[in-house]
Amino acid sequence: HAKERGRNNYQFFSQDMNARAVERQLIETHLRLALERHEFTLHYQPKLDLESCRITGVEALLRWNHPEWGMTLPERFIRIAEECGLIIPIGRWILREACAQSVRWRDSGLAPVSIAINVSALEFRHRDFFTHATAVFTSSGVAPACLQLELTESVLMRDVAASAELLTKFKAIGVEIAVDDFGTGYSSLSYLNQFPIDVLKIDQSFVRAIDGTLDGNGAIVSAVIGMGRSLNQRVIAEGIENATQLDFLRLHGCSEGQGYFFSKPVDATRMREMLLG
Ligand code: C2E
Ligand code: MG
Ligand code: MG
Ligand code: MG
């Protein structure tokens, strides 16, 4: 009866909690060694101009090449890295590596390519973030105008005044600012013109739901594109997987896109070939 069921539920619940705690601990232990063992690498996904289909830039995406687990995706470890603070040294490695890659591509004869870097909440709010980032730009020799920082709405909204000040400092040295996963965070739109935002990245959940009609989801996507254009922000659709989505986005004036329909994230060598055309 009910009492027994309740007890069983509790047991299952606690077993599940326990399994998750064990998994979390295991990942944290391995994460602590991953940097010195050089297990991280960056993959790159192109962003394309939807009219010309030319590559307008790339997004750097972290990959963990674990000796036993193989290629491990961020969803399995990024949150844990944030919770235990390891995202700070890992984020610093990501910034150094992305800047170094930008310089390597340039030195190999490619035209300057814009690299977007994802920044987590903890990194963005870290008191040394700007000082450290600018030191990396200087020592790597990268042009800050070739860099874009991707931040989610919730990161920006946590402390609006502090975010605005920091974004303004990055903008002043030429770094571009993109709002990642747009439409899934806080619903307050008033911040859109308080922050110096260059790019809105429409979250993939909206793109996935495009069915070619202007009903419901389609109306939202179209409105977001219109809003970005009115505010002079570039709009990038994330997660384009098919021609229906692409056609709809083009028709409604979305300037850029990214997704498996064009390319999955690839390693730096493959990305260079794609950039060569
Ligand atoms: P995000 O920044 O929104 O990145 C987009 C994610 O969608 C990437 O997953 C990308 O591989 C995936 N994606 C791209 N096109 C498609 C598509 O057409 N269909 C589908 N289903 N997925 C697509 P990934 O690389 O696994 O990264 C997941 C999230 O992990 C990222 O979301 C970002 O929040 C975080 N992340 C990744 N790399 C970094 C990093 O270097 N630093 C930080 N702080 N976070 C990162
Ligand atoms: Mg991103
Ligand atoms: Mg995103
Ligand atoms: Mg995301």
Percent of the chain with pLDDT over 70: 95
pLDDT in tens, 1-13: 545 555 566 666 6
Residue among 39, 58, 61, 246 to mutate when testing ligand 1 (max atoms within 8 A of CB):
61
> Which amino acid is residue 241, in one-letter code?
E
Residue 147 corresponds to which amino acid? L
Asked whether 201 and 150 are in contact (CB, 8 A), the reply is yes
List, run by run, the mean pLDDT of 10-residue segments along the chain (277 residues). Answer: 55 76 93 96 98 97 97 96 97 98 97 97 96 98 97 92 96 98 81 91 97 95 95 96 98 98 98 96
Distance 7 CA to ligand 2 centre (A): 42
- C-alpha 115 – ligand 3 centre gap (Å): 15
Atom of ligand 1 nearest to the CA of 241: 18
Q: State the closest ligand 1 atom to the C-alpha of 240, by its place in the atom list counted from 1.
A: 18
**Backbone phi, then psi, for 256, in 5-degree steps?**
-135, 165
CA quadruple 251, 116, 265, 142: dihedral sign:
positive
pLDDT of residue 10: 62
95 lines ligand 1 (CB under 6 A): no
**Please, are residues 15 and 22 in contact by the beta-carbon 8 Å criterion?**
no
Report DSSP letters for 104-157, one per residue: HHHHTTPPP--EEEE--HHHHHSTTHHHHHHHHHHHHT--GGGEEEEEEHHHHH
Query: Does the Cβ of 75 fall within 6 Å of ligand 1?
Result: yes
The answer to whether the CB of 151 is under 6 A from ligand 1 is: no
Measuring from atom 37 of ligand 1, which residue has the nearest CA? 61
Is the dihedral angle over the CA atoms 259, 263, 269, 274 positive or is it negative? negative
Distance between Cα 238 and ligand 1 center (Å): 9
**Cα within 13 Å of Cα(224), Cβ side:** 26
Strand pairing category for 115-118 and 55-66? parallel
Going by alpha carbons, the residue nearest to atom 21 of ligand 1 is 239
Question: Using one digit for the tens of pLDDT, what is the confidence trace for 126-136?
Answer: 999 999 999 99
Q: Whose CA is nearest to atom 12 of ligand 1?
A: 239
pTM for the whole thing? 0.94
